[in-house]
Amino acid sequence: MLKKKLIVFLILTLSGSMVAQKIISKKMYEKYESYKIAQVDNKRFDHNFIMDQFQKLVKEKSIKVEQIGKSLQGRSINLFSVGNGDINILAWSQMHGDESTATMAILDILNFFTADDEFNDVRKLLLEKLTINFIPMLNPDGAEKFTRRNALQIDLNRDALRLQFPESQALKNVRDRINPQFGFNLHDQDQRYTAGNSYKSAALSFLAPAYNFEKDINPVRERTMKLIVKMYKELSEFIPGHIARYNDDFEPRAFGDNMVKWGTSSVLIESGGWKNNFEKQFIRKLNFISLMTAFYSIATENYSEETIQAYQAIPENDKLLFDLLLRNLTIEHNGKNYSIDVGINHKEKSSRNPRIDYYKSEIADIGDLSTFYGYSEYDCSGLTIHEGITEILDKAGIEEIKKLDFIEKYKQGIVAVKIINAKFENEFTEIPINIITRQKLNKGKIEIGETADFIIKSGNNVKYAVINGYLVDIEVNSISVRNALVD
């Protein structure tokens, strides 16, 4: 009898926590904007700026902070903590300097913990059960230039064995001191990853990293898998089909893999792509929800009801997206016609000032791309593809170029203008035509790896111009070229 009562009680509390969690994450999703630190709205921030934002929270809202190290170039690496619970959690972001999405989310989470509102019960529970430690921007020197590696060109996620660099040492020392049961290794991935064999971008990918080449599952890894299932289920309410499982090949030099070896159930979160979300502000919100979901699940231990099988059923990361996919173009060669698809990617580049980005678009693939998808797609059936023309303009200055009739130029097949030896401040231009300053360079080739500048015709008339990978419809009187290039 007693046994039966106990079972009924267990079932009630378990399913109760499931229901509660769903309601909480839905409410948080709705209320997120009130925790978001609005001053940060661009992913290319530097150490000074973002640490000011963190220090403001420390000052105004009494969050604990401790400097745990200095980067090679002397920038501070800081640990921010909330809670007094027995379960220790360690989350670190921007180990790769150009992967900043989670750093923004951590700021919002700390802000959440100091608010006073309808979530007070949740806060109380989390702060009593957990001590949550954050290291935002582990690689401030890389962040300064918005590049992956540290100041000595080291990928810190390959320094977990040698532990030579101060950034890696800071992370390892904190891990050893607090011995966290759970870790969160926060990164960004290529926006063209998809969730399995689908057209849906992998907005988030999760991984329970392996700790050996055999990919064995020990209790530390198993706990990670179960927690991920919880996060996956919760997040699927908001972005169904947009979550994937990251490749679990063992990397002996990586931190995530070693954390598991050292006894920390460490979850990798990769922030991926979302259509027209260049600053990743929506993915930042998803990070916020993912981490809060995980914290709640750890505090209530409700992840233990999940299974390894459910983890393995999460679709794997695939890479089936182009930024622009032009389907069913016709190309002529020696009097014969062939049908091709063209996949184009807009590659984000840092300009001389790393806070300013621009896009260089390349032809990534040509051929039968019927098994791929595009963030933007066009069916070009009945249309033909042609090389673009570079026009030589003698002695024209920037002002004259600005005054050109671009639509007229596109109609003539022109995708670039050449002014030799002219000096330009930037590698890109907001003028919707490429500018070439070198004698020998021409644009307009239809080749893999070339910049995507060509012409699409309907019969003898130009229908579309592709300028630096951006499609311009000649009949529509607005030109939406984000930037063209100066070479």
Q: Which residues are near Zn ion by CB under 5 A?
A: 96, 99, 187
Output the residue with the shortest Cβ distance to Zn ion: 187
Q: What are phi and psi of 353, to 5 degrees?
A: -95, 110
Cβ 186 to Zn ion shortest distance, Å: 9
For the record, the structure tokens of 164 come out as 């030579």
Phi-psi sector, 241: left (phi>0), alpha (psi -120 to 50), beta: left
454, β-bridge pairs: 387, 466
For the record, the structure tokens of 312 come out as 């393995």
Cβ 158 to Zn ion shortest distance, Å: 11
By beta-carbon proximity to Zn ion, the closer residue of 92 and 303 is 92
By beta-carbon proximity to Zn ion, the closer residue of 273 and 444 is 273
Number of alpha carbons in the 13 Å side-chain half-sphere of residue 99: 26
| Residue of 400, 382, 383 whose CA lies nearest to 391 | 400
By beta-carbon proximity to Zn ion, the closer residue of 108 and 188 is 188
At position 51, the amino acid (one-letter code) is M
Cβ 344 to Zn ion shortest distance, Å: 25
Dist. CA 454–CA 464, nearest whole Å: 9
269, β-bridge pairs: 186, 206
Cβ 94 to Zn ion shortest distance, Å: 9
Cβ 144 to Zn ion shortest distance, Å: 17
Dist. CA 200–CA 297, nearest whole Å: 27
Burial 147-166 (b: 16+ CB within 10 A, else e): bbbbbeebebbebbeeeebb
Cβ 185 to Zn ion shortest distance, Å: 9
For the record, the structure tokens of 50 come out as 């973002």
Count other C-beta atoms under 10 Å from residue 11's C-beta.
10
- 321 by DSSP, 3-state: which? strand
For the record, the structure tokens of 352 come out as 């001389």
By beta-carbon proximity to Zn ion, the closer residue of 36 and 96 is 96
Cβ 99 to Zn ion shortest distance, Å: 5
By beta-carbon proximity to Zn ion, the closer residue of 99 and 487 is 99
DSSP 38-50: TT---S---HHHH
| Residue of 238, 229, 203 whose CA lies nearest to 28 | 238
Cβ 103 to Zn ion shortest distance, Å: 12
